Amino acid sequence: MTNEDDMPIRSLFIANRGEIAVRIIRAARDMEIRSIQAYSEADADSLAVRSADASVLIGKAPASASYLNIESIVSAALRSGADAVHPGYGFLAENGDFADAVESAGLIFIGPKGSTIRHLGDKVVARTVAEEVGLPTVPGSQGRIENADAAKPVLKEIGFPVLIKAAAGGGGRGIRIASNQDEFENFAPQASAEARAAFGDGGIYVETYLRRARHVEVQIVGDGTKAVHLFDRECSLQRRRQKIWEEAPAEAVPDSIRDHLCRSARDFAQSVGYRGVGTLEFLYDSDTQKCYFLEMNTRIQVEHPVTECVTGVDLVCESIKIANGEPLNLQQDEIALRGHAIECRINAEDPTNGFMPDPGTVTELTIPDGPGIRFDSMLYPGCTIPPFYDSLIGKLIVWDQSRSATLKKLKDILGELKIGGIKTTKPLHQALVEDEDIIAGNMHTGFLDEWLDL
From the number of C-beta atoms within 10 Å of its C-beta (0-12, 13-18, 19+), residue 127 rates as buried
**Per CB under 8 A, does 62 bind other proteins?**
yes
Closer Cβ to other proteins, 285 or 390, answer by number: 390
- What residues act catalytically? 299
Where helices occur in 122-254 by DSSP H, the ranges are: 123-132, 152-158, 181-199
**Per CB under 8 A, does 356 bind other proteins?**
yes
Closer Cβ to other proteins, 209 or 388, answer by number: 388
**Per CB under 8 A, does 446 bind other proteins?**
no
Dist CA 362 CA 343 (whole Å): 21
Dist CA 36 CA 28 (whole Å): 10
Minimum distance from residue 72 beta carbon to other proteins (Å): 17
Angle at 111 between CA 109 and CA 114, to 5 degrees: 75
Closer Cβ to other proteins, 210 or 346, answer by number: 346
Window 384 to 403, contacts with other proteins (CB under 8 A): 387-391
**Quick check: 332 and 346 in contact, CB under 8 A?**
no
Minimum distance from residue 240 beta carbon to other proteins (Å): 10
Closer Cβ to other proteins, 18 or 111, answer by number: 18
**Quick check: 229 and 282 in contact, CB under 8 A?**
no
Minimum distance from residue 358 beta carbon to other proteins (Å): 9
Q: Look at the alpha carbons of 21, 362, 394, 370 in this order and tell me if their dihedral is positive or negative.
A: positive
Dist CA 49 CA 55 (whole Å): 6
**Per CB under 8 A, does 44 bind other proteins?**
no
The span of 332-340, 356-364, 412-420, 441-449 binding other proteins (CB under 8 A) equals 356-364
Closer Cβ to other proteins, 139 or 357, answer by number: 357
Minimum distance from residue 217 beta carbon to other proteins (Å): 22
CB atoms within 10 A of CB 345: 25
Q: Which candidate, 219, 419, 407, places its Cα nearest to that of 305?
A: 219
The span of 45-53, 200-208, 352-360, 365-373 binding other proteins (CB under 8 A) equals 352-360
Minimum distance from residue 359 beta carbon to other proteins (Å): 6
**Per CB under 8 A, does 172 bind other proteins?**
no
Distances (CA, A) of 267 to 111, 122, 154, 380: 18, 19, 29, 42
Closer Cβ to other proteins, 40 or 324, answer by number: 40
Dist CA 308 CA 96 (whole Å): 26
Widest CA span in the chain: 65
Using CB under 8 A as the binding criterion, the count of chain residues that bind other proteins stands at 14
Window 226 to 265, contacts with other proteins (CB under 8 A): none
Out of 348, 378, 428, 448, name the contact with other proteins by CB under 8 A.
Answer: 348
Minimum distance from residue 314 beta carbon to other proteins (Å): 29
Applying CB under 8 A, which residues contact other proteins?
A: 61-62, 197, 348-349, 356-357, 359-360, 387-391
